[in-house]
Structure 1
Amino acid sequence: MEKKRELWTSRSGFIFAAIGAAVGLGNLWRFPFQAYKNGGGAFFFPYIVALFSCAIPLMILEYTYGRRIRGGSIKAFKTISAKYEWIGWMQVMVPIIVMMFYCTIISVSVIFMVWSLGHAFGIVNFMGDPGKLMGMIAGSAKGPFDFTSGISKYLFSFVILVWIANVVIVRKGISKGIEKVSKIFTPVLIIMMFMFMINSLRLNGAMLGLKQLFTPDFSKILNPSIWVSAYAQVFFSTTLAVGVMIAYGSYLKEDSDIVGSSLMTVMANASFDVIAGVTVFSTLGYLVTNMGVQFDSFGSGAGIAFIAFPIAISTITSNVFLQGMLGFLFFFCLFIAGLSSSISMLEAFTTASLDKFKVPREKIVTIISIIGFLGSVCFATFAGFNYILDIVDSHVGNYVIATLGLVETILVCYVYGVEKIRVDANEHSNIKVGKYFNFLLKYVTPIILGITVVSNLGKEFKKLAGLLVENKEAFMGEMIFGWGVILLMFLASIFLYLKKED
């Protein structure tokens, strides 16, 4: 007799888990700098259009389809046709690869948490010069193939703790693990980020930062690349097309309000984007005004969280204990954001595997976590953290996810039937979606994703051609750690597709 499928015990638990999955470390820096470099306030118009024309319809599609088939990505594509099952495996390969390097970044936030406590009690003093700690953690390497540069003992040690947290939560399942943790973590994350935003607005120079973020440059709004960037930001920040939301949808009760839940998930994530943008640029405005640095002095990536914020915190108060506790709260906030996303990634692959292979959840989670941890160890090397991480991230994010989103939309809409999705979604929803939903998913979303894929590939080939002439080592790094990882994902997907069911 087939085991009855576990379900979310409450709507709030599901919503908090979904929001936690969508909101991650990337929101803190990716959205603010996408807006900053793409026309400031002018970026918000295509961003909002992308929310309503792409993110919300796709979220409705994934929740609805997941609930209808009661399965993850593997079952989702296999239901359309057995020959498409491998695409489902390719989809859930994405969160596994992302988890490998994502957990090393989460571990940095844990390290900064510990050092913040040390700062509070006078054991260490790093708030005024966090770059020194970051240098100790990340080390240095000459290139992606400089394996003799060594491994970061800090990253290696703390990445173990992050993976233990992932395993403990996901092994317990949906209701006892992910739902229970998300009900605590996600509200805490929202409250803490809101508090940091309010505090950042009172800083001297905050208005200068907000002016940089929100002042519209309408000369850029007709540039197609701005629209591609806006859709890419919305698409990737909502964790669509990687099996997470289909998996979460598969545990929904039959009478769930899917349209309302989709709206809440997408808009909560968008709100977090804006809160992060205000917080980051208010803080940078303060640093520009009081320290004479530039808005891009800390880069547009992890430097914002791990370099700029400790400096800003150290200038809020001269009380060392308060500095340390504020730092601890901020990096605990980052840890929560990262962990809530990482458990959703692990669950995406777990759900898919359980749908095909009749093995205990605990065993599946343990096997995947061991493989994932070994991958994280590779990224904990100095060459891995400083070079390979960026290469893998850009290739998986720019080429695999957008392509899978395009394939998913076309197959579900044209083969399974978009009208079936719309009827199912409306059945128990208070807000109903009309025929415009079909139009958006059949035409607008595939066209935008198609343009995104072609645009990204065009830029990649141009980049590779230049590297082949100017920097052969960098070219080989792109081919092996970028396209090589994509090939490995494809081969693993085919292997699991051909492997017989238990």
Structure 2
Amino acid sequence: MSLIYVHCYVPGAFLIPFTVMLFLEGIPLFLVELGIGQRMRLGSLGVWNTIHPWLGGIGITSCVVTFFVALYYNVIITWCFFYLFNSFQSDMSDPQSPLPWANCPMINNTEVPECEKSSETAYFWYRTTLDSSPNIDELGDLKWWIVILLLLAWVVVFFIMMKGIQSSGKVVYFTSMFPYIVLTIFFIRGITLKGASAGLVHMYTPKVEKLLDPKVWLDAATQVFYSFGLAFGSLIAFGSYNTPDNNCVRDVILVSITNAFTAIYASVVVFAILGFKAMTNFDKCLVNNKMKLFQHNLLPNASVSTDIYESTLANLTAINATMDIDLETCDLSQQLNQV
């Protein structure tokens, strides 16, 4: 998923450095780690100590890094559990709404100002899920629902890993296939949404000037390390379970192609939905502007077509009191950059 976050702020241009780094560092290091694990039949600590005792620190460091990354990703699993359980609830203010984050909460028949200024999903994330403090200097209290779900996440991980490769290997059959089922469902739904095409065009529109930014290449290299699990020691450990005559080159090529395809496939799904969100915000902006123009008697009604609205907007001058109208800038490209 980290590819999606990086891809969001450098759309179009990121695929080029990602592909370059995939061949320069991803596939070679993947082959090295899998190969030495298969050859020496040892884990990360044993492999590096065998190569040279002074390199044993690399194995120790990889274990420490893996521990902290596991802490980080278990928090993400916790948030997933929270959304999963809340998806079985409906919005109390609107029984017809399928999800609690579909609408802003109402107080005295008025939407909460904070939610109205942001969005329904952002309000649910920051207020209902995290209940985040106003600033980073205020730690806030522990949220009992997050604490319980974090404990649940660790319990699930424990039961998956408690028997080592015997239990985790069986779980992989589910964890490797289920995401593709979910992605396909989201893909079918996403491409049917209004604005999906705009999101996909935005995703694959190249921004060549971004290729001159060293940070883009650094992020691409970082993404390759995360997507393959390089330098964490896990590939060495998995390779140690292969038979000595296993064709690890074939495995590396197959996994690399599958990994790259999955990353692009997931990006298509996400950007189709982001395009829908941007189009929704764009339409909301148009509705607000039409209402303001209607209130100033510059439109016959607030439901006129977009062509009439744009024609009226182009003919506005300072003489007809436009200075009193606080119109928003409705730009789909800007909305795509913001979502």
TM-score band w.r.t. shorter chain: 0.7 to 0.9
The equivalent of 2:77 in structure 1 is 106
- State how 1:21-420 maps to structure 2 within 5 Å: 27=1, 30-38=2-10, 40-119=11-90, 125-128=99-102, 129-134=120-125, 135-141=127-133, 146-147=138-139, 149-175=140-166, 177-292=167-282, 294-298=335-339
**What is the one-letter code of the residue matched to 1:81?**
H
Letter in 1 for 2:101: M
How far off is 1:180 after superposition?
A: 0.6
Q: 2:14 is matched by which residue type in structure 1?
A: F
- Does the 8 Å contact 1:70/1:251 carry over to 2? yes
Superposed displacement of residue 250, structure 1: 1.2
Match in the other structure for 2:308: none
Quote the offset at 1:162 in angstroms.
0.8
Shift of 1:245: 0.9
- Cα offset, 1:103, TM superposition: 1.0
Q: Deviations over 1:260-309 (max 9, x none)?
A: 111222222221211121111111111111232823545xxxxxxxxxxx
Contact 2:9–2:337 (8 Å) recurs in 1: no
Give the drift of 1:171.
0.8
One-letter amino acid of the counterpart of residue 261, structure 2: S
Structure 1 portions without partners, runs of 5+ = 1-26, 299-502
Normalising by structure 2, we get a TM-score of 0.72
Distance in 1 of aligned mates of 2:7 and 2:87: 30
1:92–1:243 contact (8 Å) kept in structure 2: yes
**Contact 2:101–2:124 (CA under 8 A) maintained in structure 1:** no
Q: Distance in 2 between matches of 1:41 and 1:291?
A: 22
The one-letter amino acid paired with 1:182 is V
User: Which structure has the larger Rg?
Assistant: 2
Tell me the distance in 2 between the aligned counterparts of 1:283 and 1:211.
Answer: 13
Contact 2:89 2:100 in 1 (8 A): no
Report deviation, 1:70.
1.5
Shift of 1:143: 5.2
Q: Which amino acid aligns with 1:46?
A: P
Distance 1:297 1:226, change over 3 A: closer
- Cα distance in 1 for residues equivalent to 2:159 and 2:78: 16
Contact preservation (8 Å) 2:30, 2:235 = yes
Q: CA RMSD in A?
A: 2.3
Distance (Å, rounded) in 2 between the aligned partners of 1:47 and 1:242 = 20
Distance 2:26 2:133 in 1: 39
The residue aligned with 2:319 is: none
Distance 1:124 1:206, change over 3 A: closer
CA offsets per residue over residues 13-59 of structure 1, 9 Å max, x none?
A: xxxxxxxxxxxxxx1xx323423433x33322222121122111111
Equivalent residue for 2:298? none
**Secondary structure at the counterpart of residue 42 of structure 1:** coil
Q: How does 1:415-430 map to 2 (within 5 A)?
A: none
CA distance in 2, matches of 1:258, 1:88: 21
The letter for the 2-side match of 1:139 is D
Residues 32 and 213 of structure 1 are in contact (CA less than 8 Å); yes or no, is this contact kept in structure 2?
no
**Tell me, what secondary structure is at the counterpart of 2:13?**
helix
2:26–2:225 contact (8 Å) kept in structure 1? yes
- Which string of whole-angstrom CA distances, capped at 9 and with x for unpartnered residues, describes residues 300-335 of structure 1? xxxxxxxxxxxxxxxxxxxxxxxxxxxxxxxxxxxx
Specify the code of the residue in structure 1 equivalent to 2:42.
G
Cα displacement string for residues 406-438 of structure 1 (whole angstroms, at most 9, x for unaligned residues):
xxxxxxxxxxxxxxxxxxxxxxxxxxxxxxxxx
Q: 1:120 to 1:246 in 2, by over 3 A?
A: farther
Give the SS at the match of 1:119: coil
Structure 2 alignment gaps of length 5 or more = 103-119, 285-334
Partner residue, 2:296: none
Q: How does 1:423-502 map to 2 (within 5 A)?
A: none
Which stretch has the larger CA shift, 214-223 or 252-261? 214-223
Residue 142 of structure 1 deviates from its aligned partner by 5.3
